[in-house]
Structure 1
Amino acid sequence: MANSQLFTGLERCRDHLPASLQSGNYGLLMNQASVDRDWNYAVDVLRESSPAKLCALFSPQHGIWGEEQANMIETEHFRESPWGVPLYSLYSETRMPTDEMLATIDTLVIDLQDVGTRVYTYAWTVVNCLKACARNQKTVLILDRPNPLGGQIVEGPILQREFESFVGMLPIPMRHALTLGEIARMARGELQLDVDLQILDVVGWKREQMFDHTGLPWTAPSPNLPRWESSLFYPGMVLLEGTNLSEGRGTTTPFQLLGAPFIDPFALDEELKSLEPVGLRLRPVRFRPTFDKWKDQSCGGIAFEVVEPSEVRSYQLIVEILMAIKRLWPSSFEWLPPPYEYERRRMPIDILSGSEELRLRIDGLPNSS
C-alpha cells in the first residue's frame, strides 16, 4: 500500500524552507530523477520556494538527463542551462567540484535518487562534494530520499579498504540499506571532514518499505534502471560488469536478464534447478542486445521474474549463477580487464565485489564433466 504520509527532503524543503536557503547563493546537484511526487524538477521547486539565488547546477554520472551510458562515458559542462546558470558535470575530467565551480555559492544542495547498492556512483559523488565543500568552507544541504530497497536488508561482503575506488569509498556491504544522507553522515565521521552538513531526512518512511510502498513516482535515475524492480537485481547483477556476460544493457529489461552467445539457456536453467531462489522465478531466454556487450548477437541466458520484491536477494543468487557458468563453459567465461570506473590497475570484478576473494573462489572451481 502506498504511503501518503511520506515526504522526501525536497518536499520538506519546499514546505519548510531551511535557513541555508532563505538567503545567499546556492548550487544544486541533481538529475532527471530529482522530482517531487508531481514530477516537478528539484530546480523548479527550489526556484519557486526559495528567495536564495541559484548560481550553478551540477550533474552526476550519466548527466542531468540520464543520456550517457556507463563506465567512463563522460558528460560535458555547459556554460548555459535551460535555467540560465552554468551546468557542471561531476563525471568529466573531474569527479569532484573544483574551487572555481564552488566560488559563487554559499550552499551546495544535493537531491539524488540512489538505488541502495554500494557501487552506484552517486554516493561517491556526494562524498566528493563533501570533501570539496569542506575545503572551500561551503554548507552542504542534502534533500534525502528513501532507499528503494528498504533500510533493513543488507547483502554481500563489506568493501575492503585496499579496494576503494569510485565505485566504493567506505566499508559498507554491496546492498547497504542506507540513504544518501546516512552515507554522507558516515563519510563525514569516517573521513573526519570538517564540513557543515545539513540533511533534510525523509519523513514517514518506514525502513521495511521498498519503493513500491512509498507512493513516489519512479523516474529512471540512470539509463539502465528504467523501472524500480531493476534495482532489486542490481546488487548482484552489477557483478557482471566485471565479466564478458551481458547484464541486459541494450535490451528493454537491463539488469533483469543475463547471458552470452556461448550459453545454452536450457542447460544453464537445468544447472540452476537446485537453487530454488525465493521471491522470483528464473526463465531460460534468448535475447539480442542493441548495444554494449555482444551487440547484435543472439545470447542465451536467464531472465528474472519478480514474485515477491521483499524476498529477493540477488547478490548470492548471481554468485551462484556465475559459478554455474564457469563450471559449464570454463573456456568461454572471462573476467574483463581494467580500466573500469577510473581504476586502471585492479580487476573490475575485485573493486565491484570489494576484494579479490570472489574472483579467486570462482577461478578455483572444477569444470563440469
Structure 2
Amino acid sequence: LLAHGAAVTAELEPLHLALARSPAGPPRRLFGPEHGYYGVEQDMVASAGGRDPWTGVPLCSLYGDDEGSLRPSPDAFDGLDLLLVDLQDVGSRYYTYAATALWAAEAALAAGVEAWILDRPNPLGGRRVEGNLPLPGHESFVGAFRLPVRHGLTLGELARLEARRRGWDVAGLEVVAMEGWQRWMTWADAGRPWLAPSPNMPTHGTAVVYPGMCLLEATTVSEGRGTTRPFHLVGAPGIDGRRLAEDLNARRLPGVRFLPAFFRPQFQKHAGALCGGVEVVVTEPAAYPSYRAGVELLAALRRLEPERFAWRSEPYEFVADRPAIDLLSGGPTLRRILDAGADETDLAAWVAGWRADEEAFLDQRRAALLYPEDAG
C-alpha cells in the first residue's frame, strides 16, 4: 500500500488499519511519499523507513536522501502481487504525490505486479486548466509530466493519460473510480472533511492558492511556511506590504484581493524575523486565476523589491544544475522575462501564450477522462 495520512475510508479510518481488519489481513508492505507515510516531515526532508507501530508492517520510504530514492528499488515488490495506491493530490503540477504514485505503479507493472489506483477528487475541480506546458528537458520531481500547472485531472485520470503516453502494458493497471464525483465539483462540493495531505496544505483554501504561490519556493521571499497561513502569506524583512498590495490590486485580477501584512515565520525562510508582505485573500474561487496570480506576484516583487528578491540558488528537489524557478515554471522563459526587466506587455504576451498549451492539453486528456466533461 502506497498511501499517507489522508488515505482514509468513508468512516474516516486509516486505510491500512481498515485493511488489517479485513479478511485479507494487513498489507505486506507500506510505502510512504514525500513527508512520510504519516505526513510529519517538512518539504525536502528525507523520510525514514521502519515498521508501522500499529500493525508491525514494514514501511519503505519513497523520499530519501537522493534522487534514486524517489522510485522503488527493483526488489521492493518481491513477494507481492498487488500495489494499492491511495494518495490525495491537490491538482497542481508541482505536487509530488502524482510522480510518486505513477513511478511506483510503473515499477510495479515492470515487476509483474498489478497496480490499482484508488481515485480521489481533484480539490480544484475537473474543468479548469491553467498554465503553460513544461518545455522538453525540464522534467523533474516537481514537473514529471507534460501538464499545465493546474491540470483538472484526478490522480486516476492522470495515470490513464500517462499510461497511454508511455505505452504501458495496462493489463495490470486498474483505476478504481469514484462514485458521485463530477467535474464541476470542488472540494467544498464533494462534502468530505479536509485532511491535510501534507504539513503545509492545512486547508482546501491552501490548495486553491498553491498553483501560483508555490512559485515563491524558487525565491528568497517566504511563501509563509512556518506560519499558520502557508502560501497565503508572502513576504520578507523590509518589504513594503502596502505598496506591494496596492500594485497587485491595481491589476484587478478576478476573485482575489491582496492585503498588506506582517508575519514572523517560526521556521524555514526568515525564521524569527518580522516579514512585510501581503496576504492572498481569495474572494471568488471559481474566478480566481491561481497560477497567473503567482506570476504577477513574482513580477511585482522583482520590480518593486529588487534588493530583497532573488532566485533560489540552492539545489531544489535533488536538482542542482537548473534554477528552481525553471523547474516550477517549466522552463527558463518566465525567469528571463523577469530578469530582463520586461514590461507588463511582455509578461502579458507570455500569459496569453498559455491558451494554446491549455487547448492542446484539453484535447489530449479527453480520452483519459473517467468523469464526463458535460455532467453537472
Question: Structure 1-normalised TM-score?
Answer: 0.89
**Structure 1 residue matching 2:13: 3-state secondary structure:** coil
The number of equivalent residue pairs is 340
Q: Is the 8 A contact 1:327 1:366 kept in 2?
A: no
**Structure 1 residue matching 2:105: 3-state secondary structure:** helix
Are residues 295 and 153 of structure 1, via their aligned partners in 2, closer, same or farther at CA, if it must alter by over 3 Å?
same
**Structure 1 residue matching 2:179: 3-state secondary structure:** coil
**Structure 2 residue matching 1:317: 3-state secondary structure:** helix
Name the counterpart of 1:208.
184
1-structure distance, mates of 2:339, 2:193: 42
**Structure 1 residue matching 2:246: 3-state secondary structure:** helix
Q: Is the 8 A contact 1:39 1:217 kept in 2?
A: no
- Kindly state the Cα deviation for residue 84 of structure 1 after the two structures are TM-superposed: 1.7
2-structure distance, mates of 1:50, 1:116: 34
Name the counterpart of 2:54.
82
**Structure 2 residue matching 1:266: 3-state secondary structure:** helix
- Kindly state the Cα deviation for residue 344 of structure 1 after the two structures are TM-superposed: 1.7
Name the counterpart of 2:195.
219
Which consecutive residues of structure 1, in runs of 5 or more, have no partner in the other structure? 1-27
Match for residue 33 of structure 2 among 60, 66, 69: 60
The Cα offsets for residues 282-323 of structure 1, whole Å up to 9 and x where unpaired, read as: 211000000011111111111022322222222111111111
Match for residue 133 of structure 1 among 77, 96, 108: 108
The Cα offsets for residues 213-247 of structure 1, whole Å up to 9 and x where unpaired, read as: 10111100000011111000000011011011111
**Structure 2 residue matching 1:281: 3-state secondary structure:** strand
Match for residue 281 of structure 2 among 282, 295, 305: 305
Backbone CA RMSD of aligned residues:
1.6
1-structure distance, mates of 2:4, 2:232: 24
- Does residue 228 (structure 1) correspond to residue 204 (structure 2)? The answer is yes
Percent identical: 42
Name the counterpart of 2:371.
none
**1:62 alignment partner AA:** H
- Kindly state the Cα deviation for residue 251 of structure 1 after the two structures are TM-superposed: 0.4
The Cα offsets for residues 23-70 of structure 1, whole Å up to 9 and x where unpaired, read as: xxxxx0111100123321111233334526520111100011211111
Match for residue 337 of structure 1 among 313, 316, 319: 313
Question: Structure 2-normalised TM-score?
Answer: 0.87
Q: Is the 8 A contact 2:264 2:275 kept in 1?
A: yes
Are residues 79 and 100 of structure 1, via their aligned partners in 2, closer, same or farther at CA, if it must alter by over 3 Å?
farther
1-structure distance, mates of 2:43, 2:285: 26
Which consecutive residues of structure 2, in runs of 5 or more, have no partner in the other structure? 345-376
- Does residue 237 (structure 1) correspond to residue 213 (structure 2)? The answer is yes
**1:103 alignment partner AA:** D
2-structure distance, mates of 1:367, 1:171: 28
Are residues 212 and 80 of structure 1, via their aligned partners in 2, closer, same or farther at CA, if it must alter by over 3 Å?
closer
**Structure 2 residue matching 1:58: 3-state secondary structure:** strand
**1:33 alignment partner AA:** A
**Structure 2 residue matching 1:343: 3-state secondary structure:** coil
Match for residue 63 of structure 2 among 79, 85, 91: 91
Name the counterpart of 1:191.
166
Name the counterpart of 1:174.
149
Deviates more, 1:174-183 or 1:44-53: 44-53
Moved over 6 A (4+): none
**Structure 1 residue matching 2:132: 3-state secondary structure:** strand
**Structure 2 residue matching 1:310: 3-state secondary structure:** coil
